[in-house]
């Protein structure tokens, strides 16, 4: 048995996404988001304007072991913005072990958790500070920042879950887009390029 199993992790979670006691951190930049947004022209124009190194989101996480029963806990900070009509998003994923669930609790800002199943169901769950969504297993999920401030969430999921990031790209994007409604808010719209999550259970 690993000695790490016997060492509790003491964390301090900030509303700005800071995570004291984190064991890891990674960032995604504008240049990493190729193929994520439907409007490729708007994406390329934004890269030309802001540069490929422009920060899109940051993840801090705490993990010790990745055995069954362990947890990964962290924060995601998604900066505001738009690419064409779409609001800023994370890449999104289905867990590699698809039956694994995840909790997202909004710490600050406002956004949407975009949720889809491989058999065609879709939900867009709005979140503001203090609200949370319990994402069941078998649901593809992606964070969307629909506000003007960073959208910061605390997440927790099983350490053995893994992530499948490729299925969204292979499907031509998620089935639903979260876009500007033209009146200062957001709405959803079907993605005509989506071809379905074939081969995923």
By three-state DSSP, how is residue 47 classified?
helix
Question: Model confidence over 16-50: pLDDT tens digits?
Answer: 999 999 999 999 999 999 999 999 999 999 999 99
What mean pLDDT is reported for the chain?
93
DSSP tag of 155: E
**Rounded to whole angstroms, how far apart are CA atoms 32 and 158?**
26
121-153 pLDDT, tens digit per residue, is 999 999 999 999 999 999 999 999 999 999 999
- Give the residue-averaged pLDDT of 145-168: 96
Please tell me the CATH superfamily of domain 3-182, with its number: Jelly Rolls (2.60.120.10)
pTM over 0.85: yes
> What's the whole-number mean pLDDT along residues 39-66?
95
- In this predicted structure, what is the pLDDT of residue 151? 98
Q: List the chain domain ranges.
A: 3-182
29: left (phi over 0), alpha (psi -120 to 50) or beta: beta
């Amino acid at each position: 048995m690993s000695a790490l199993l016997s060492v509790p992790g003491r964390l301090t979670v900030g509303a700005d996404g800071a995570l004291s006691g984190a064991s890891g951190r990674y960032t995604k930049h504008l240049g990493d988001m190729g193929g994520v947004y439907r409007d490729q022209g708007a994406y390329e124009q934004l890269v030309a304007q802001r540069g490929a190194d422009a920060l899109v989101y940051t993840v801090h996480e705490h993990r010790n072991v990745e055995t069954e029963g362990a947890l990964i806990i962290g924060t995601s900070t998604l900066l505001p913005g738009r690419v064409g009509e779409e609001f800023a998003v994370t890449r999104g994923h289905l867990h590699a072990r698809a039956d694994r669930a995840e909790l997202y609790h909004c710490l600050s800002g406002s956004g949407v958790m975009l949720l889809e199943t491989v058999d065609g169901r879709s939900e867009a769950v709005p979140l503001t500070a203090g609200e949370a969504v319990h994402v069941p297993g078998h649901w593809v999920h992606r964070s969307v920042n629909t506000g003007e401030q960073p959208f910061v969430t605390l997440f927790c999921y099983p350490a053995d879950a893994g992530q499948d990031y490729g299925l969204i790209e292979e499907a031509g994007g998620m089935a639903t887009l979260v876009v500007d409604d033209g009146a200062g808010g957001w709405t959803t719209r079907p993605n005509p390029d989506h071809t379905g999550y074939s081969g995923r259970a």
